[in-house]
Amino acid sequence: MADSEQESFEAALQKLEQAVERLESGELSLEESLACFEAGVQNAALCQKQLKAVETRVELLLQDKDGTLKAQNFNDD
């Protein structure tokens, strides 16, 4: 597994937020903006991939024995 795939969701999200701030500042050159945008897209994809994996795990945990999903609020005990 590549280092970028092992990065935590929180770290990738923080890098994405920093990229957005840098791009919104308007102080980057065109090349710097492009590099920052590319890194942001990679971090966004990593976050999305990790969120999908968590969603799949939650769905598996909420499946009945017959395989049907049962809707349940997270705060229900």
* pLDDT tens by residue, 30-57: 999 999 999 999 999 999 999 998 888 8
pTM over 0.85: no
Residue 63's SS3 state is: strand
CA–CA gap between residue 6 and residue 1 (Å, rounded): 7
- Look up tokens 């492009």; give the residue: 34
Q: Determine the pLDDT at residue 75.
A: 60
pLDDT tier at 2, thresholds 50, 70, 90: very low
Can you tell me the distance from the alpha carbon of 14 to that of 69, in angstroms, rounded to the nearest whole number?
A: 33
**Does 64 score more than 60 pLDDT?**
yes
The whole-number average pLDDT for the span 57-69 is 77
What CATH number is given for 7-62 in this structure?
A: 1.10.287
The answer on pLDDT for 1 being more than 60 is no
